[in-house]
Amino acid sequence: MFLESKSDAFAAFKKLARRLQNTKNINIGSIRSDHGGEFQNEKFVKFCEKLGILHNFSAPRTPQQNGVVERKNRSLEELARTMLSESSLPKYFWTDVVSTSCYVMNRVLIRPILKKTPYELFNGRKPNISHLRVFGCSCFILNNGKESLGKFDEKANLGIFIGYSLTSHAYRVYNKRLMTVEESVHVVFDKVDRRISQIPKIRAEEDEQSISLEKLEIFAEKQPVDSQKQPIEILQQSELPKEWRILRDLSVDNIIGQIKEGVSTRSSISNYCRHTAFVSEIEPKSIEEALKDEKWVEAMHEELNQLERNEVWFLVPKTNEMNIIGSKWVFRNKLDEDGVITTNKARLVAKGYNQEEGIDYGETFAPVARLEAVRLLLAFACMSGFKLFQMDVKSAFLNGYINEEVYVDQPPGFEDHKYPNHVF
């Protein structure tokens, strides 16, 4: 929903809440927003109290507490900016670009855990994407009775595709002749990209790059054979007769391999061969699948050796009074800058999602380095002439001491055969 001003936020939210209630029988339990005046006002308070909606607010100047919305807005803005730049349309089409971006993302973006698109999760069926078209492409709209046509007048107008209708099964097209936006299903899309014609033509001399080998052989056969003379020198293309020059006409279907991959050099191939023999290219989905591959077994042994070397745990008998946390394996393939798998990484993690805040733990922390701090460090190192070294940390452990006793199940697939019922 697009708003002309921030004051329209309450009306849009009220319309959305009623639509969800009528179409999907969904009652909103809680919403989250910042402390903006368009959200924190008397209308919102009365409406939320009437429907029993809990209104949560993020802390001031802390957008990361509302990270889901902020990340979605960023994705839509980046897509819209890219589509506007690619189609060379003016910025006042931004609403159509954002609407099209959201329309496409809901139908093609697959959620990583659920393996379904948002459209499928919301409507319970897979979307049909056969009608999707390239934003900003040229098309022709049928002039079906809006204005009187003569016998020899054009029946279609040239237009620009700017999105999909949200209220009907139709395309939104900008009519270049009438300078209006229309919604119609009688649209024929131009298969030829008109923007290619805007590219300046290459000179004919540069276009004529291939030489007919057959005519070169005929040219050599016409020369008198003389063993005392030097071998015939192959003439440059500019020295050949004009009628012998053959223009190159290559089809994309005749090109072997992917054009966007670039040229494969010997160094890149050797880098690929260096890792391929020692890593697995498949990420297992379960511990049973991982135990069948020796590469992943080796990765799991390396993770367990790190835990034993740092004396993370020790085995104790299990009792009924213990609150035991489960454990599971997480398998990931590490890639280099060329997308080549270099390492099989197996992480042993605790199933912390079955713990309750305030009962099993107080606060959680994730120490990470901000990108701004890294940039500041690099800039200061360049200015002062410092020498920096890069290292790879395989395993990181908390520096603090745990005052409570924590019990964790033995790693799946690596239980102690002497004490299978013990816990760490």
Q: Which two tokens stand for residue 64?
A: 């990361």
Does residue 293 sit in the same domain as residue 391?
A: yes
Does residue 210 sit in the same domain as residue 231?
A: yes
Closest among 372, 397, 376 to 388, alpha carbons compared: 376
Query: What local confidence, expressed as pLDDT, does residue 325 receive?
Result: 87
What confidence tens digit (pLDDT) does each residue in 122-166 have? 999 999 999 999 999 999 999 876 667 778 888 888 999 999 998
Within a domain: residue 270? no
Residues β-bridged to residue 183: 172
Residues β-bridged to residue 54: 30
What are the CB-based long-range contacts (under 8 Å, 24+) for 403-407?
A: 406/325, 407/316, 407/318, 407/322, 407/323, 407/324, 407/325
Task: Give the model's confidence band at 17: pLDDT under 50 very low, under 70 low, under 90 confident, else very high.
Answer: very high
Query: What local confidence, expressed as pLDDT, does residue 224 receive?
Result: 52
Query: What local confidence, expressed as pLDDT, does residue 369 receive?
Result: 79
Query: What local confidence, expressed as pLDDT, does residue 105 receive?
Result: 93
As a residue count, the chain comes to 424
Q: How far apart are the first and last CA of the chain?
A: 53
Average pLDDT across the chain, whole number: 80
pTM for the structure as a whole: 0.47
Amino acid identity of 43?
A: K
Does residue 182 sit in the same domain as residue 77?
A: yes
Query: What local confidence, expressed as pLDDT, does residue 53 receive?
Result: 93
Q: Which residue has the tokens 């107008």?
A: 157
Task: Give the model's confidence band at 98: pLDDT under 50 very low, under 70 low, under 90 confident, else very high.
Answer: very high
Query: What local confidence, expressed as pLDDT, does residue 196 receive?
Result: 46
Within a domain: residue 261? no
Query: What local confidence, expressed as pLDDT, does residue 255 receive?
Result: 61
Query: What local confidence, expressed as pLDDT, does residue 397 receive?
Result: 66
Does residue 83 sit in the same domain as residue 29?
A: no
Does residue 294 sit in the same domain as residue 394?
A: yes
Does residue 36 sit in the same domain as residue 19?
A: yes
Residues β-bridged to residue 245: 211
Mean pLDDT, residues 371-381 taken together: 92
Within a domain: residue 413? no
pLDDT score of 410 more than 80: yes
Residue 31, number of CB atoms within 10 A of its CB: 15
Mean pLDDT, residues 4-27 taken together: 91
Q: How many domains does the chain have?
A: 4
Mean pLDDT, residues 256-281 taken together: 60
CA distance 40 to 32: 11
Does residue 190 sit in the same domain as residue 138?
A: yes
The two most distant CA atoms of the chain are separated, in Å, by: 108
Query: What local confidence, expressed as pLDDT, does residue 199 receive?
Result: 42
The secondary structure of residue 175, as a DSSP letter, is E
Within a domain: residue 422? no
Task: Give the model's confidence band at 266: pLDDT under 50 very low, under 70 low, under 90 confident, else very high.
Answer: low
pLDDT score of 230 more than 70: no
Within a domain: residue 83? yes
Weakest-pLDDT range from 165-169, 273-277, 379-383: 273-277
Please give the helix or strand (H or E) that residue 55 lies within, else none.
strand 54-57
Burial bucket for residue 135 (CB in 10 Å: 0-12, 13-18, 19+)? buried
Query: What local confidence, expressed as pLDDT, does residue 247 receive?
Result: 47
Within a domain: residue 242? yes
DSSP codes joined into one string, 345-414:
EEEEEE-GGG--BTTTBS--------HHHHHHHHHHHHHHT--------S----SSPP-S--EEPPPTT-
Does residue 214 sit in the same domain as residue 158?
A: no
CA distance 346 to 299: 6
Domain-terminating residue out of 178, 197, 216: 197
- What are phi and psi for residue 341, nearest 5 degrees? -70, 125
Does residue 50 sit in the same domain as residue 77?
A: no
What confidence tens digit (pLDDT) does each residue in 154-206 have? 888 899 999 999 889 999 999 998 889 999 999 999 876 555 444 444 444 44
Residues β-bridged to residue 156: 142
Angle at the Cα of 120 (from 118 to 123), degrees rounded to 5? 105
Does residue 141 sit in the same domain as residue 168?
A: yes
Amino acid identity of 84?
A: L
Residue 218, number of CB atoms within 10 A of its CB: 11
Task: Give the model's confidence band at 40: pLDDT under 50 very low, under 70 low, under 90 confident, else very high.
Answer: very high
**Local structure of 329: helix, strand or coil:** strand
Percent of the chain with pLDDT strictly greater than 70: 77
DSSP codes joined into one string, 127-165:
PP-TT---TT-EEEEE--SSS---TTS-SEEEEEEEEE-
Question: What residues make up the domain containing 174?
Answer: 71-197
Cβ neighbors of 397 (< 8 A, separation 6 or more) are 310, 312
CA distance 141 to 129: 21
Query: What local confidence, expressed as pLDDT, does residue 402 receive?
Result: 75
C-alpha pair distances (Å), 95 with each of 80, 81, 98, 102, 182: 9, 11, 5, 11, 15
Within a domain: residue 330? yes
What confidence tens digit (pLDDT) does each residue in 300-353 have? 998 888 888 888 888 999 888 888 888 899 998 888 777 788 888 888 888 877
Task: Give the model's confidence band at 416: pLDDT under 50 very low, under 70 low, under 90 confident, else very high.
Answer: confident
Closest among 156, 137, 149 to 194, alpha carbons compared: 137
Within a domain: residue 174? yes
Does residue 44 sit in the same domain as residue 119?
A: no
Query: What local confidence, expressed as pLDDT, does residue 379 receive?
Result: 94
Does residue 105 sit in the same domain as residue 191?
A: yes
